[in-house]
Amino acid sequence: MSEFADFIRVSLVELSALFAGVGIVAWLLPQERRLPIVLGGGLAVGHALSIFVLMALLRLLPIGLAVPAVFLLALPPAAFAILSLRRRPYIWGVSLGWTVLALSLLTLISVGAVVDLAASVWNGSTHENLVVRMAMAAHAAESPWPVMDPYSPDHQRLYRHAAQVWTAALMRISGAGLYPATVVTVLASVLAIAGGLFAAVARLRSYLAGFLGASLFFTATPSNFLGVWKTPFGSLSTSKAYGLATVKRELAQGYVLGHGLALAPGNDFTLMVGLGAGSGAVFLAATLVDPTTRRRTGIVVAAMALAAAGAAAEQILPVAVATLLAVAAVLAIRRRWTQAISFAALVLLSSAFVLIPEGTYAALAFGSEIGQRAGFAFTPEYFLRLPTEFLFFAGSESHFFAVPAQTFRIWLFEPIALKEIGWIYVALASLIILSRRRNSASILAFAVAPAIALLIPGLVSDRLYEINIAKFTVLGISLGGLAAGVAAAELLARRKAGLARVGAGVLAGGLIVFASATWMLAVPFWPARLSEQPYRHLKEELEATDYLRSLDYGRRALILPGPTDKEEVNSDGWEGMHRFVVSFGATAIPMGLDRWGAAHLYQPYYIPAYDSLDEAAMAQLRIDTIYVAPHLLTEEQERMLESAVAEGRAKLLFESFAGNRQIYEYQPR
Amino acid sequence: MNISPAKFHTLALAGVWILGVLSWATAFLLPLDWPVSSMTDRSALIPIGPVSEFVVPGQLFGTPEAVSAIDVLIRVGGPFGASTPVGMAVYEDVERTSLVARSGAEPVSVPAGLAVIRFDLDVAIDGNRRFYLELEIPPDNPWPIFVGGTRDDPRRAGDYLYLERRPGWSDQDLAYQFFRRQTGIQRFIHIASVRPEMAWTIVLSLVAVLGMSAGLSLLALRNYGWMTISGAAVALPGLALLALLVWLLL
């Protein structure tokens, strides 16, 4: 019941921030009377501005003041939104059928996002990515700013911070726990993406284009539905249900290292938050071509929204900036100077604003004394190539869609790439042809964005983790869905008679099917994603981590037994204790997870501390807590702990109700 | 034959409602084999054998819930198409003091080698208990027989492979998969009682899909009455659900 109350409280707090955006949009677009556009765009703008303002205030104020200041600042525009909705003659203008269809689909997408997140948190279908993000949020809810890396507590993790800090802000202001705050952050992002993209495309093209574009943005994945007849992928049963259930997560993955948004909430919810903010920027950019808008303020607000997107997920900014510059160039060629200058100014301002929040871009520009910087490199030798992963389709054989063996990168037009994301190329080609035939540059922008996202991995590499570059592929697939939706709507909207009508209908239907069928097929397997129960003593784990959170913030724990390096952190070993200690327990584990987290400085001490409770190593790491699963200890570890207790170095502070978790206070002699 | 528009509307209305009710009723009431979680994803598959009436393959196992069928992997040697009857007996324990259920099947030699063989038990066995199963190879079987096993699977401690009724390596097991024959509604009630979050996901997804169907029906049938529209809204997901269940579970 208390968690339900948490959900209500944190939802109301989030809604107040979102609703402030509706007020800002109502003020920026005084002539706009279409309620779906004001509401949709407003939700995205509210999401983006709240995050940007919070990150900017954190440069000036302590976090304890910055968080309430953001929500206080949101009150006047939220009040203006209510006044405007009462006084202005807004019209809904969408039929009941479309309204019910769109809201139901949004509900289904929201359910899918929460299931993906929940499966990762409670059912062990994640690796360390989500755990680190949630841990950062939990620590930011307790610690002074800037928050330190939970696995390297003397260092900052200098990459995307904004989503985690926003989740922490929701926890601080509502008093909610980590899980409700994360769920609401993801749901708000879904609303912002749907609303912002719908409103932007609808303003530029039509409601149908807005609906299809936003829908397919969410549902776009590699075309794995083409391979389902090959189940059961070497499994132990002839049951299709069993075969598919064993690949329930991989169903939405592809051979190319990109899976669309279907798996983003449970892997890296920061991308969802960034895209929500980016959708606000896209919506505001779409209003810049309208002379009735308050353009100068709109440019500044759009730049803030884009900066928030870049701060939440750094992959979004280069794609957005390149697309905006392309639009500006086209407008300049057409001698529409005012609009071209508006877009160029938006690019310049957002490039400056993105340096304000702490994170990847600020660290790249200014460096850092206490954190690791990203290791991006210019690698044109990979031009027109995507990073790969041996995922779903690699589990079966295909003579036509050949899977290159042990390939690090594949060519964009290799058969397997054509099978996985060929529908994106068809969508882009359709948009280019439609743009030329209808002499409409606004159609072309929807083709440019996914093309850029898919081309960037061919030019840039991340020397630390290739998966950071693969997120451009994730973005490219989602933007490909947007492109497919816009193309389908355009094809359906102005069909000619006869064969052309049939052809346009078939092409539009094909694009919709290819962009959404894998996602749709995955829907029946959502319950199966919640079936695994890898954490045998979850109730005791949460009881113990609650206790940890009740202690003064800043504790550093040794997990006994537990992982000692990144590979072990990613494993399901030790009942996943470390995952809950760093996140729900808001306690640091000073092992140095990876190269982002200065592992080389922590590993030489954590390993002797783990192996023998070495006093010098424990003191060096300032470990003050030992988190123990007594039933998992080896005899040697039991002896080691007993001797530490006998020597007065370890004192039992807490034992869970069934005795499967213990917390010791460690004191050096 | 001329049908008046009013009669056509009535027929359409009756048709969609009959279709809707029938599809949902069948989806909920059709008994199907639901896979019950048993094997881990990471098991390496190995052939064990040759097994025979003397080298009897057996397995001690636990059931997460009641089980009515068990799949095991069997390879029949000899020319492709050759077959031999194989029995399965499920006992209370490895001492075989009490027979719980019995089944039989006739695996065939196929090019792929190991083939999945379904053993429908004559009596469903209880859940949350340990049992011992044995495969019974007839004495007059002329072909070499292998069974599928798994290896390197530390999470299944306690489940033991037996050969010649003696325990084998602790990290090896027979490859098996459990099934439980239930109607959709029985399955849902079971899930709701043990895993409410899964039940909530099912309910919310179905509500959202029904909403989408209602939206599509409103758009496609806007010239028809509310009864026809609501009938179509119910029938569309019902048919889709039924098709899905038949494809996945039959």
- The answer for residues whose C-beta is within 8 angstroms of residue A290's C-beta and 6 or more apart is A29, A203
Q: Tell me the pLDDT tens digit for each residue of A450-471.
A: 999 999 999 988 776 777 788 8
Q: Tell me the pLDDT tens digit for each residue of B88-99.
A: 999 999 999 999
Lowest mean pLDDT of A40-49, A479-488, A495-504, B127-136, name the range. Answer: A495-504
Does residue A394 surpass a pLDDT of 50? no
Residue A118's closest chain B neighbor by CA? B197
B118 contacts on A by Cβ (under 8 Å)? 238
Q: Tell me the pLDDT tens digit for each residue of A327-341.
A: 999 999 989 999 999
Q: Tell me the pLDDT tens digit for each residue of B147-185.
A: 998 876 555 667 888 998 888 877 788 888 899 999 999
Q: In the predicted model, what is the mean pLDDT of chain A? A: 90
Does residue A195 surpass a pLDDT of 90? yes
Of B37, B43, B208, the CB nearest to A104: B208
Contact A236 B175 (CB under 8 A): yes
Whether the CB-CB separation of A584 and A139 falls below 8 Å is answered with no
Residue B249's closest chain A neighbor by CA? A241
Residue A364: Cβ-neighbour burial (10 angstroms; 0-12, 13-18, 19+): middle
A96 contacts on B by Cβ (under 8 Å)? 218
Q: A133 is written with which tokens?
A: 């993000």
CA distance A516 to B16: 27
* Residue A484: other Cβ atoms inside 10 A: 33
Alpha-carbon distance B76 to nearest alpha carbon in chain A (angstroms): 17
Of B118, B198, B219, the CB nearest to A530: B198
User: How many Cα atoms sit within 13 Å of A156 on the Cβ side?
Assistant: 22
Please give the pLDDT value at position A474: 92
From residue A19, alpha-carbon distances to A93, B120, B135, B152, B237 in Å are: 21, 58, 66, 54, 35
- Mutation site, B119, B173, B201, interface A, largest A CB count within 10 A: B201
- The answer for residues whose C-beta is within 8 angstroms of residue A616's C-beta and 6 or more apart is A608
From residue A284, alpha-carbon distances to A46, A303, A532, A615 in Å are: 12, 9, 43, 58
Percent helix, strand and coil across chain B, each rounded to 5?
A: 35, 35, 30
- Mutation site, A94, A104, A521, interface B, largest B CB count within 10 A: A104
Whether the CB-CB separation of A244 and A251 falls below 8 Å is answered with yes
From residue A353, alpha-carbon distances to A300, A301, A307, A365, A368 in Å are: 9, 11, 6, 12, 18
Alpha-carbon distance B27 to nearest alpha carbon in chain A (angstroms): 14
CA distance B61 to A615: 46
Please give the pLDDT value at position B182: 95
Q: What is the enclosing helix (H) or strand (E) of A461?
A: strand A460-462
A538–chain B Cβ distance below 8 A for any pair: no
Crossing angle between the packed helical segments A441-455 and A466-493, to the nearest 10 degrees: 160
Nearest Cα residue to B159 out of B175, B135, B179: B175
B41 contacts on A by Cβ (under 8 Å)? 246
Residue B44, φ and ψ in degrees, nearest 5: -85, 135
The distance of Cα B199 from the centroid of its chain, to the nearest Å, equals 19
Residue B136, φ and ψ in degrees, nearest 5: -110, 110
Place of tokens 């707090």: A13
CA distance A417 to A275: 25
Whether the CB-CB separation of A42 and A213 falls below 8 Å is answered with no
Lowest mean pLDDT of A111-125, A358-372, B130-144, name the range. Answer: A358-372
Q: How confident is the model at residue A493 (pLDDT cuts 50, 70, 90)?
A: confident
Q: Tell me the pLDDT tens digit for each residue of B11-55.
A: 888 989 999 999 999 999 999 999 987 665 556 778 898 999 899
Contact B204 A103 (CB under 8 A): no
Q: Rounded to 5 degrees, what angle do the CA atoms A347, A349, A351 make?
A: 65
Q: Rounded to 5 degrees, what angle do the CA atoms A414, A469, A581 make?
A: 130
- Mutation site, A101, A123, A526, A632, interface B, largest B CB count within 10 A: A101
CA distance A23 to A637: 60
Does residue A558 surpass a pLDDT of 90? yes
From residue A200, alpha-carbon distances to A141, A283, A284, B214 in Å are: 34, 4, 8, 26
Contact A108 B209 (CB under 8 A): yes
- The answer for residues whose C-beta is within 8 angstroms of residue B14's C-beta and 6 or more apart is none
From residue B202, alpha-carbon distances to A117, B26, B54 in Å are: 16, 17, 48
**Which residues sit opposite B173 in a β-bridge?**
B150
- The answer for residues whose C-beta is within 8 angstroms of residue A659's C-beta and 6 or more apart is A630
CA distance A534 to A122: 8
Whether the CB-CB separation of B231 and B20 falls below 8 Å is answered with yes
Q: Tell me the pLDDT tens digit for each residue of A278-289.
A: 999 999 999 998
- Mutation site, A100, A115, A251, interface B, largest B CB count within 10 A: A100
Of B212, B215, B248, the CB nearest to A240: B248
Q: How many CB pairs under 8 A join A and B?
A: 107
A341–chain B Cβ distance below 8 A for any pair: no
DSSP string covering A226-260, please?
A: GGGGG-STT-S-S-HHHHHHHTTTGGG--SBS--G
CA distance A224 to A419: 8
Q: A273 is written with which tokens?
A: 């938050």
Contact B191 A527 (CB under 8 A): yes
Max Cα distance, chain B (Å): 78
Q: Mean per-residue pLDDT for A16-45? A: 96
Of A97, A103, A241, the CB nearest to B248: A241
Question: 3-class SS at A176?
Answer: coil
Alpha-carbon distance B1 to nearest alpha carbon in chain A (angstroms): 30
Q: Mean per-residue pLDDT for A536-553? A: 95
Residue B178's closest chain A neighbor by CA? A237
Q: How confident is the model at residue A560 (pLDDT cuts 50, 70, 90)?
A: very high
Dihedral class, residue A575 (left if φ above 0, else alpha if ψ from -120 to 50, else beta): left
Lowest mean pLDDT of A57-66, A77-86, A633-642, B154-163, name the range. Answer: B154-163
A526 contacts on B by Cβ (under 8 Å)? 201, 205
Residue B41's closest chain A neighbor by CA? A246
